[in-house]
């Protein structure tokens, strides 16, 4: 169990370090997203299921570790998939995920 916690902590530290060292924040700007929107929509038209899977994984990871730019990913989902698909992909699964996570955390705190 301690090895798993150490591995997760190491992974988070390496990810945050890479974010700053490799200047990954340049990709989390509205200007960058707007410049790539047409190519992202073309990729979505060719590979819808793959685009949904990739987007969902990035969105869950970004919101899960609270990196800057999670709100930009939400807006990007709406821009790429449109109102209805974006709503179906984000609201329902994320509300279930956060409800489960929040409920578990609350129940653990109450048991203490």
Domain boundaries, the chain: 26-111
Contact 72, 28 (CB under 8 A): yes
Residue 81: exposed, middle, or buried by beta-carbon count in 10 A (0-12, 13-18, 19+)?
buried
Q: Which residue has the higher pLDDT, 63 or 16?
A: 16
Length of the chain equals 112
56: nearest Cα among 44, 39, 42:
44
C-alpha to C-alpha distance for 74 and 80, rounded to whole angstroms: 10
Find all residues with CB under 8 Å of 24, minimum gap 6, and list them: 18
Q: pLDDT tens across 24-40, in order?
A: 878 877 888 889 889 98
- The predicted-structure confidence for 40-99, as pLDDT tens digits, reads as follows 899 999 999 999 888 888 887 777 777 666 777 788 888 888 888 877 776 655 665 555
Q: Tell me what pLDDT residue 88 has.
A: 73
């Amino acid at each position: 169990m301690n090895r798993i916690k150490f591995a997760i902590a190491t992974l988070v530290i390496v990810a945050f370090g890479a974010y700053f060292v490799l200047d990954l924040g340049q990709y989390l700007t509205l200007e960058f997203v707007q410049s790539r929107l047409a190519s992202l929509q073309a990729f979505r038209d060719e590979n819808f299921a793959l685009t949904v899977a990739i987007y969902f994984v990035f969105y869950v990871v970004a919101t899960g570790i609270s990196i800057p730019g999670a709100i930009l990913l939400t807006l990007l989902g709406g821009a790429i998939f449109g109102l209805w698909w974006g709503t179906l992909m984000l609201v329902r699964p994320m509300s279930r995920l956060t409800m489960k996570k929040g409920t578990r955390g609350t129940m653990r705190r109450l048991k203490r």
